[in-house]
């Protein structure tokens, strides 16, 4: 939920885009599938719920199984590779990210969502880097800004490295 809020704030306040954010928790709340839906547009948004997602970020197997049908066939699927083991039926771009593992290496498993935000910012460019850094710093608990920015940067750097590797691979095929 925090990740969607952070990105939505960056879109509106820093990038001057339109954004809507909705969230829902299953009856199981903690540990179960939840959904944070964020729409970002340069035009007015008339309906606040995602019907066909361009990007789907899944940080649990249950979440993937419950929400995968929302992703467009040519959409971008970004998964926490340690938490989502099977992406059966996935089409389009799939990016496996070791977000939880990277957050654990930083000493805080709870920052996996911030690592993932960095990665999403890097590979999708849906929101500016400057806006996201500002939004992360403003949204996390006081005293944790530096560690959260470090987590964000780890995810961002991984995204840049993956994109570069994909470009090299594509160029080698030509």
The parent domain of residue 164 ranges over: 2-173
Count the domains in the chain. Answer: 1
Structure tokens at 170: 């594509």
Residues found in the chain:
174
Q: How far is 82 from 56, CA to CA, in rounded Å? A: 16
Q: How far is 134 from 154, CA to CA, in rounded Å? A: 16
Q: What is the pLDDT of residue 24?
A: 86
Q: What is the pLDDT of residue 104?
A: 96
* Per-residue pLDDT in tens (0 to 9) along the chain, 174 residues: 889 999 999 999 999 999 999 998 766 555 566 889 999 999 999 999 999 999 999 999 999 999 999 999 999 999 999 999 999 888 889 999 999 999 999 999 999 999 999 999 999 999 999 999 999 999 999 999 999 999 999 999 999 999 999 999 989 987
Q: What is the pLDDT of residue 20?
A: 96
For residue 110, give the CATH number of its domain.
3.40.920.10
The conformational region for residue 92 under phi > 0 = left, psi -120 to 50 = alpha, else beta, is left
């Amino acid at each position: 939920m925090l990740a969607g809020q952070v990105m939505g704030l960056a879109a509106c306040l820093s990038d001057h885009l339109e954004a809507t954010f909705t969230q829902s928790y299953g009856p199981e709340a903690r540990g179960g599938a939840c959904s944070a839906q964020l729409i970002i547009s340069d035009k007015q948004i008339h309906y606040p719920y995602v019907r066909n997602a361009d990007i789907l970020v899944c940080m649990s197997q249950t979440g993937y199984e419950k929400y995968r049908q929302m992703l467009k066939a040519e959409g971008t699927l970004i998964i926490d590779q340690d938490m989502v083991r099977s992406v059966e039926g996935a089409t389009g771009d799939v990016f496996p990210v070791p977000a939880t593992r990277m957050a654990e290496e930083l000493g805080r498993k709870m920052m996996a969502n911030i690592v993932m935000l960095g990665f999403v910012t890097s590979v999708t460019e849906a929101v500016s880097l400057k806006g996201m850094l500002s939004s992360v710093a403003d949204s996390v608990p006081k005293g944790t800004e530096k560690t959260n920015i470090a987590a964000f940067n780890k995810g961002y750097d991984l995204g840049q490295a993956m994109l570069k590797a994909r470009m090299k691979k594509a160029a080698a095929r030509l």
